[in-house]
Structure 1
């Protein structure tokens, strides 16, 4: 099954994506650990059912040295022993930030406070920005039915 529209040839999408990608580079260059960034992108993409982004970010994480054990356990991070307390806090924030409509008041003070124990203000802002960005990419790709499986690391660099 192919995509409904080609976001890579649309002038409108091209203009919007240029800004999304620029924002993503700002986050990527932030002091938020790169491994944490990939884990968050994977978890939000799993929740949103975005095969394209799940494919991309698991492959990018593996290419950057992430282990298959950790990648295979992202969806069940609460039961897994392979994540640090800081990574768990980021994954929990990603889940609540992705499922924002499911909780009255959005992200709970408890989840925010736990993340704030592990990340400084700049890292927290990078984390919030990353969660917002990956959710935007997920929603675009899901609506367009972008196919998963063919992504190669570095394809969009």
Structure 2
């Protein structure tokens, strides 16, 4: 299957994507743990049905040393024993932030308070920004039907 549109060949889209990538670099350089960042990107991408981003971030997480067991259990994180309480809080915030239209009021006070128990203000800012950014990437890729499966770790830097 081919993508409906070559985002990387469009000057307008490329300009936007450069800003997204730049924002992602700021987040990745934050004190929010790298493993948590990848788990959040994977979970949001799963929820949004973005095969391209799910492919990319599972491969990048594996390249960074994430275990196959944890990667295979991201979608079932509530039942899995392999995630820390902090990671669970981040995954809950990611799910609620991704499914923002599903609940009146968006993210619950409980989910926010739980995340705030584990992350300081700068980490929370990075986490919220990451959730917004991966959702934007997911939407771009889903809309153009960006195919999944061929991503090579390190492909984009």
Normalising by the smaller structure, the TM-score range is over 0.9
Once the two structures are superposed, residues 116-147 of structure 1 have per-residue CA deviations (whole angstroms, 9 ceiling, x without a partner) of 00000000000000000000000000000000
> In the alignment, what sits opposite 2:38?
38
Q: TM-score, normalised to structure 1's length?
A: 1.00
Structure 1: segments with no counterpart, 5+ residues: none
Q: Shift of the alpha carbon at 1:155?
A: 0.3
Give the alignment of 1:1-157 within 5 angstroms: 1-157=1-157
After superposition, the CA RMSD in angstroms is 0.3
Paired residues, number? 157
Structure 2: segments with no counterpart, 5+ residues: none
SS at structure 2 position matched to 1:101: coil
> 4+ residue runs of structure 1 moved beyond 4 angstroms?
none
CA separation in 2, counterparts of 1:14 and 1:143?
16
CA separation in 2, counterparts of 1:136 and 1:34?
20
SS at structure 2 position matched to 1:100: coil
Q: TM-score, normalised to structure 2's length?
A: 1.00
CA separation in 1, counterparts of 2:22 and 2:63?
22
